[in-house]
Amino acid sequence: MNVKTDDHQLVRDFLSGNEQSFNILARKYQERIYWHARRMLGDHDDAHEIVQQVLLVMHSKLNTFNFSSALYTWIYKITATRSLNLIKKKKLKQIFTFSSDKTFENYGYENIIEDIEAKERFLRMEKHLNSLPVKQRQVFVMRNYDDLPYEEISNITGKSIGALKANYFHAFRKMKELMEKNDY
Amino acid sequence: MTTDERIIKYLENELSPEERNLFEKDLKNSAELRDDLNKCLKVKTETDELKKLNLNSLYLNSLIPEFRQNLDAPKSVSVRRNLGYAFGIMLIFILSISILKNFFSSESPTVILQEFTQSLNENQKIKLLEDLNGDAEVYKLVSENISDNELTNLLTTELEINNEVAEAYDISFNELISGLSQQKIDEIYTEILNRNF
């Protein structure tokens, strides 16, 4: 049994009333949801909020899942949309509170990554990621961290492959420049 | 195609076989290209390594219980929040309507002033004029509290009233003098002059 049919079976079990199947699915995907949200939002608390939101959406909307695609694509789409919505919400909040804080300084929950050296590198990269425009950041995260092919990114974001490639190129070049500036 | 584009396409496996061969040939001959490629490889390596990061297991184990708790929590908070939003929207709606109503129904100071002066009878006009001409304090108070435009309008209106009253006075004066002595006429005339007509 492959991952897709495995997931589909778990969804069917959940829809027929087995809550334990939902827990298995949640446990399987929660970390990936967290990382996508964290890389997009640059903040632990926001990423945590997205994980909880996505789990709630999964629980209430799994009955609308049509089994034609992989479950993860469906979950990923929800995660990506929710993350973008939260970014927009935060930007609006910044405008209305006249806040000049454009970078996300609150890295939150200190022990989320146990390896100290890796944590430092992660935070440095996160800072660079957050200096990318949202569209570029999104395609960079999906391509480099989540290893999604352009076709799938296009399916999730609704953007053309040409536009995605252009955004990725700019994102990559900017990341290279930022890393160069910071003496990696 | 710029150097960066070539490198990124090379790393993304998007160069045609010919372009790839040419790129690899150029790599052997150009130290600058090799340096640029290494910089791009650093981005790739760094992201690849950070991809493998694991989250704290205690945190991960806490996610589902928290979700279950949120799921079972009574909806009162969100109901209260929704009621708050509804109240806020209603308040904004009412305020907008009252502001718009005021905006469309409000009249300019000039219109109000004209309506006011038209509503006065002759005696009231005379009294108003006396107040404005005779009482410097009133004039000062009025002029300090209204804009230049409004002051100009007020003075124009005052002039109109002056003319109307002067006409009225002229008729009254002729009627008055017919049965009066010269001395009395002089007294009335002096009084009128003193009233700035």
Specify the pLDDT at position B57: 87
Instruction: Give the model's pLDDT for residue A103.
Output: 46
When mean pLDDT is compared over A123-127, B129-133, B140-144, the highest value belongs to A123-127
pLDDT, tens digit (0-9, with 9 covering 90-100), for B95-130: 998 888 877 766 666 666 777 777 877 777 777 776
Q: Which residues of B143-176 are buried (b: 16+ CB within 10 A; e: fewer)?
A: eeeeeeebeebbeebbeebbeebeeebeeeeeee
Contact (Cβ atoms closer than 8 angstroms) between residue A65 and residue A74: yes
Q: Residue A160 has what DSSP assignment?
A: -
Predicted confidence at residue A80, as pLDDT, reads 95
Is the distance from CB of A44 to CB of A109 less than 8 angstroms? yes
- Quick one: pLDDT band at residue A106, thresholds 50, 70, 90? very low
- SS3 letters across A108-126: CCHHHCCCHHHHHHHHHHH
Question: Mean pLDDT across the stretch A125-139?
Answer: 94
More confident residue, A41 or B170: A41
* pLDDT at residue B41, rounded to an integer: 93
Convert the pLDDT of each residue in A28-78 to its tens digit: 999 999 999 999 999 999 999 999 999 999 999 999 999 988 898 999 999
The residue-averaged pLDDT of A16-26 equals 95
Among residues A65, A48, A92, A89, the alpha carbon closest in space to that of A7 is found at A65
Long-range contacts of B80-87 (CB under 8 A, 24+ apart): none
* pLDDT of amino acid B177: 67
pTM of full prediction above 0.80: no
Residue A94: how many CB atoms within 10 A of its CB?
Answer: 13
Q: What is the mean pLDDT of residues A140-163?
A: 93
- The total of other beta-carbon atoms located within 10 Å of residue A141's CB is 24
Return the top range by mean pLDDT from A18-27, A114-123, B93-102. Answer: A18-27
- The span from the CA of A74 to the CA of B183, in Å, is 108
For residue A90, the one-letter residue type is K
Residue B116: what pLDDT? 77
Contact A52/B55, CB-based, under 8 Å?
Answer: no
Q: By the 8 A CB rule, do A173 and A154 touch?
A: no
pLDDT at B1: 78
Q: If residue A99 lies in a helix (H) or strand (E), which one and from where to where?
A: none
Residue A150 · residue A165 · CB < 8 Å: yes
What is the Rg, in whole angstroms, of the alpha carbon atoms belonging to chain A? Answer: 18
* Residues whose CB falls within 8 Å of the CB of residue A168, separated by 6 or more in sequence, listed in order: A136, A139, A140, A143, B8
Residues of A in contact with B66 (CB under 8 A): 52
The residue behind tokens 């009066």 is B180
For residue A89, pLDDT beyond 50: yes
Largest CA distance in chain B: 128
Contact status, residue B124 vs residue B116, Cβ threshold 8 Å: no
Q: Does A31 touch chain B (CB under 8 A)?
A: yes
Which residue, B54, B69, B68, B67, is CA-closest to A31? B54
Q: Of the candidates A57, A47, A65, A51, which has an alpha carbon nearest to the alpha carbon of residue A10?
A: A65
- The encoded tokens of residue B128 equal 């108003």
**Is there a contact between B42 and A179 if contact means CB atoms under 8 Å apart?**
yes
- Interface check A144 vs B, CB under 8 A: yes
Interface residue of B7, B46, B69, B78 to substitute, partner A, most A CBs within 10 Å: B46
> Cβ contacts (< 8 Å) between A175 and chain B: which residues?
43
Contact A74, A10 (CB under 8 A): no
Question: What DSSP letter does each residue of chain B carry, written as one string?
Answer: --HHHHHHHHHTT-S-HHHHHHHHHHHHH-HHHHHHHHHHHHHHHHHHHHHT----HHHHHHHHHHHHHHHHS-THHHHHHHHHHHHHHHHHHHHHHHHHHHHHH---HHHHHHHHHHH--HHHHHHHHHHHHH-HHHHHHHHHHS-HHHHHHHHHHHHHHHHHHHHHHHHHHHHHHTTS-HHHHHHHHHHHHHTT-
Pick from B47, B56, B71: CB nearest A145: B47
B70 confidence band (pLDDT: 50, 70, 90): confident
**C-alpha A180: how far from chain center:** 26
Q: Which helix (H) or strand (E) holds A174?
A: helix A161-181
Question: Which of the pair, B23 or B145, is modelled with greater confidence?
Answer: B23
Q: DSSP code of A182? A: T
Q: Under an 8 A CB cutoff, do B63 and A30 touch?
A: yes
Confidence of residue B37 (pLDDT cuts 50, 70, 90): very high
Token pair for residue A82?
A: 């929710």
Nearest-CB residue to A111 (from B56, B60, B63): B56
Higher pLDDT, B80 or A11: A11
